[in-house]
Structures are given as C-alpha cells and as structure tokens.
Chain A
Amino acid sequence: MRDIFSRGLQTTIIFLVVGGILALALSGFFGAASSQFSGSLVQVQTFFATRFQAVQDFFAAPRDITTLRSQNSELEAQVSQLQVQVIELQQRVNETDILAALVDFAQSDPESTYKAASVIGRDPSPFLHYIIINRGSNDDIRRGMPVVTNQGLVGRIDAVIADASRVQLITDPGALVNIRLQNAETAAVLKGSVTGDISLDFISQDASVEAGDLILTSGLGGGYPPDLIVGQVININKFDFQLFQTASVQPSVDFSRLVIVLVITNFRPVDITPLVP
C-alpha cells in the first residue's frame, strides 16, 4: 500500500516537474537552453528527413520519370500542334491581307471584272517564266486574258484546261508588251529575259526618258488593256549610233512572291495577226 502511494507520488512529482519545466520553457525562461535544444532537434530531424527523402526518391523516381516523360511528350505534341496552328493562322492573315489589297484594287477599277486565283506552280523548265493558277475554263477563263495584282501587270493567260491555267509572265524571254511612258508620253516595247529582268526597247531617240518614269500598258496591239502599271525606269541607255533608246525596268510586281493573282475576265484580246502584212 505504501509502495503504491510512493509510486503515485513519484509520478505526480515527475509530471509536475516536467510540466513546470515545459511551462517555463514555453514562457521563455530557458531561452538559450531551449533554442540550443530545439536547434539540435531540428538538425537531427533534418538529417533523418533528408535521408528518408533520398531513399524514397530512389524507389519512387523511376515511376516519376516515366510520368514526366509521358507528360513531356504530351506537352511537346501540344506545342507542335499549336505551332502548326500559328503557322496556319499566319498564312491566313497573309492571304487575307493580299485579298484585301486585291479587293481595294478591284474596287478602284469598277469597269473591269476580276477573278481571283491562287498560284499553284511554276513551269518545270528554267528557260520559261510561266506560272500555273487554279482557275480554268470552268471559271470562264480564256486564253489571252490579262493577269494582274494590286501592284501591277503580271502577264496573260497562255493555256487553259478545265480547272487550271498557265500564265506567261511579262518576265518571260518570249513576252512582249506594248507600253507607254507616262511622263514622256512615248510608246515602247517591254521585253523579258532568261534572268527575269525586264527592259524597254524601241524608245524613240527624241523621247526624254528619266529614271523613275512610270511605265503603263499602252493597249496597242490589243494584247493588254491600257493603263495597267508595269514598273518604273531604272536607267536609260542612249547612244547616238543606235536607232532607239533602251532602258532597264524595275517591275512593280514581285514575281518571286506571287501567291494570289487577278484575272481580268471582261477583256478579250484582239488577234491582229491577219492584219500583219
């Protein structure tokens, strides 16, 4: 009975002492000692925690890597999809810009009727400067119709099938266009070349031509309608011993970037071959 009493007393005393120490510690009376103790405790806990984490990572990592790889591949697929969408949208924006410019151009000349066409290819031979467009006789395209962009004259229809046409560019070595120089009010002939450069020939020696002069179609010969912009004079070659002046021309159209063109469908070329002596 005495032993039981003494054990209970001891336990009570121990609880009271420990509780008192805790109360004193929590009240801040053991500042230095408690901070040292807690510091040691944190260090020990950190030691065990990091070791445990390393062991856990060792066993769990392969599964995480697999998950991450699958997520990474999914994200990469999403990124590539989005990149494709961005490219498609950029193309649409570019096409829309081109079409808007072409609509403005068509509205500025309401007398002509136009049919828009996409450029779908070029001639397989490097000797010739032709393009292939995706409109043909099903769209009332006929041989000889002029082809333009909002920048100026491109060429004319050379051959037509049901759903496509071949266009001879004015840069083709075989192309000849009757033009007039706006400032000089004189006529001349525009010629293409194998390099894609265009030049003027048969300019009268009396004509006063200067660099920067605007070149327009004259309509002579009936091959093209008048007053379509062709380009500008870059430089003039004038020699007294020659019958005519010649000039280099900067075309108004960038032929390397032709995407969409307009076919003037209400123009019928005149065949003057029977009249040529």
Chain B
Amino acid sequence: MRNLVAFPILFLAVILQTTLVSKVQLLSGYADLVLVLLAGWALQERVTSAWHWVFVASLFVAYISALPWAAVILGYFVVVYLAQVLQKRIWQAPLLAMFAVTFAGTLFMNVFSYFLLTFLGTPLQFADVLSLIILPALLLNMLISIPVFAWMRELSRWVYIEDGDL
C-alpha cells in the first residue's frame, strides 16, 4: 500500500511540470521536477520503493512527452541507480548526495536525450544544446533540489512510520 502514494504524487508532479515548471525558463532550459523528485525520494534511508516510483514516473512522462521513451526510462533509472549508490556512500551528508545525484542525473539525461534525438534525425547543435538547455536546466534543478529533498524527507517519514516514531 505504501507504494501507491507514488501515483498521486508523480501525477501531480507531471501536471506541474507540463503546466508550471515548463514555463519558468532560463534561456531555453527548464527544471525537471520529476527527475529531482525521484532523486530526493531514492536518497531517503527508509525508502524501499524507489524503483516503483521510477516505473510510474517513466510511464507518465513517456506517455505525455514527445521525447523518445527510451530517453525517459533510461534517464530516470540512471538517476535512481546513482541515488542508491551514493546514499550508501555519502549517508552522512544527504544534501551533498542530493546535489551530486541531481547534477549527474540531469547531465546524463540531457546528454542522452541529445544523442538519441540526433540519432533519430532531429538537427541539434551540441554547443547550442549545452549552453541553452543543459546548463540552465542543471542550475534550475540544483536550485529546486533543496526544497524537494526536504519535502521528500517529510514524505518518507510520513509514509514509513516506524513503531519508534509513534
């Protein structure tokens, strides 16, 4: 039952992404709320459902976006994989881990999307993509990662209530 919370939260996140976040542009880039949510959720100690969240998020975003579904699915899976690796190694500084995962995940997802779109025939210049989309998106994702991490920590406490917490 705990995993079901992913549906309303990710649904809301995708709605916010398409309506609100995508309008707050820096140059041509904007934040990826779903990616940052996944990173924040996967970094929580108690969370055991990060892979379920990736599946649901990939389903929602691949359904709505015109981006090739492989870019969405692989990008989000890599983000959660990175989060789970770093969560065990930088467990004493979770915010640092959040920054690292957001940075590496955003970079991977955007660069992978660029290569995939280019491979599929969309004419894109890497210099333009880097300066107008990837770097602004990195900055915006890093900015929203702090409040998102705090929300995800509160959510994980609420979802994974232990006997000692009562």
Residue positions of A touching B, CB distance < 8 A: 120-128, 130, 132, 158-159, 166, 168, 173-174, 191, 193-196
The prevalent SS among residues of B at the interface is helix
Flag if A124 contacts B61 (CB, 8 Å): yes
Decide yes or no whether B92 CB sits under 8 A from chain A.
Answer: no
CA distance A20 to B19 in the complex (A): 92
Flag if B22 contacts A122 (CB, 8 Å): yes
Q: How far is the CB of A48 from chain B (nearest CB, A)?
A: 63
CA distance A148 to B114 in the complex (A): 29
Residue positions of B touching A, CB distance < 8 A: 14-15, 17-19, 22-23, 25, 28-30, 32, 34, 61, 64-67, 110, 113-114, 117, 121-125, 128-129, 132-133, 137
A195 contacts across to B, CB distance below 8 A: 28, 128, 132
> Can you name the residue of chain A whose Cβ is closest to the Cβ of B63?
A161
CA distance A194 to B133 in the complex (A): 8
Q: A194-B132, A195-B28, A195-B132 are in contact. Are A125 and B18 (CB under 8 A)?
A: no
CA distance A158 to B66 in the complex (A): 9
Flag if B113 contacts A125 (CB, 8 Å): yes
Q: A128-B65, A128-B67, A158-B66 are in contact. Are A123 and B22 (CB under 8 A)?
A: yes
Flag if B133 contacts A122 (CB, 8 Å): no
Q: A124-B32, A173-B122, A195-B28 are in contact. Are A130 and B128 (CB under 8 A)?
A: no
A196 contacts across to B, CB distance below 8 A: 28
B137 contacts across to A, CB distance below 8 A: 126
Flag if A124 contacts B64 (CB, 8 Å): yes
Flag if B65 contacts A123 (CB, 8 Å): yes
Q: A132-B64, A194-B124, A195-B28 are in contact. Are A127 and B117 (CB under 8 A)?
A: yes
Flag if B133 contacts A124 (CB, 8 Å): no
> Can you name the residue of chain B whose Cβ is closest to the Cβ of A174?
B122
Q: Which of A124, A159, A174 contacts B22 (CB 8 A)?
A: A124
B64 contacts across to A, CB distance below 8 A: 121, 123-124, 132, 166
Flag if A174 contacts B128 (CB, 8 Å): no
Flag if B18 contacts A124 (CB, 8 Å): yes
Q: A122-B23, A132-B64, A173-B122 are in contact. Are A127 and B17 (CB under 8 A)?
A: no
Q: A194-B28, A194-B132, A196-B28 are in contact. Are A127 and B124 (CB under 8 A)?
A: yes
Q: How far is the CB of A82 from chain B (nearest CB, A)?
A: 26
Q: How far is the CB of B14 from chain A (nearest CB, A)?
A: 7
Interface centre among A124, A132, A191 (most CB of B within 10 A): A124
A125 contacts across to B, CB distance below 8 A: 65-67, 113
Flag if A121 contacts B18 (CB, 8 Å): yes
CA distance A121 to B128 in the complex (A): 25
CA distance A130 to B18 in the complex (A): 10
B128 contacts across to A, CB distance below 8 A: 193-195
Q: Which of B23, B30, B110, B124 contacts A173 (CB 8 A)?
A: B124
A159 contacts across to B, CB distance below 8 A: 66
Flag if A194 contacts B129 (CB, 8 Å): yes
Given contacts A173-B122, A194-B28, A194-B125, 17 further A-B contacts (CB under 8 A): A120-B18, A121-B19, A121-B64, A122-B22, A123-B22, A124-B14, A124-B61, A124-B64, A124-B65, A124-B67, A125-B113, A126-B28, A126-B30, A127-B114, A174-B117, A194-B133, A195-B28
Sample (9) of A-B pairs whose CB atoms are under 8 Å apart: A120-B18, A122-B18, A124-B14, A124-B32, A125-B67, A127-B117, A132-B64, A174-B123, A194-B129
B67 contacts across to A, CB distance below 8 A: 123-125, 127-128
CA distance A130 to B122 in the complex (A): 14
Q: How far is the CB of B1 from chain A (nearest CB, A)?
A: 28
B23 contacts across to A, CB distance below 8 A: 122
Flag if B66 contacts A173 (CB, 8 Å): no
CA distance A127 to B120 in the complex (A): 13
CA distance A166 to B66 in the complex (A): 8
CA distance A125 to B34 in the complex (A): 11
CA distance A201 to B19 in the complex (A): 33
B17 contacts across to A, CB distance below 8 A: 124
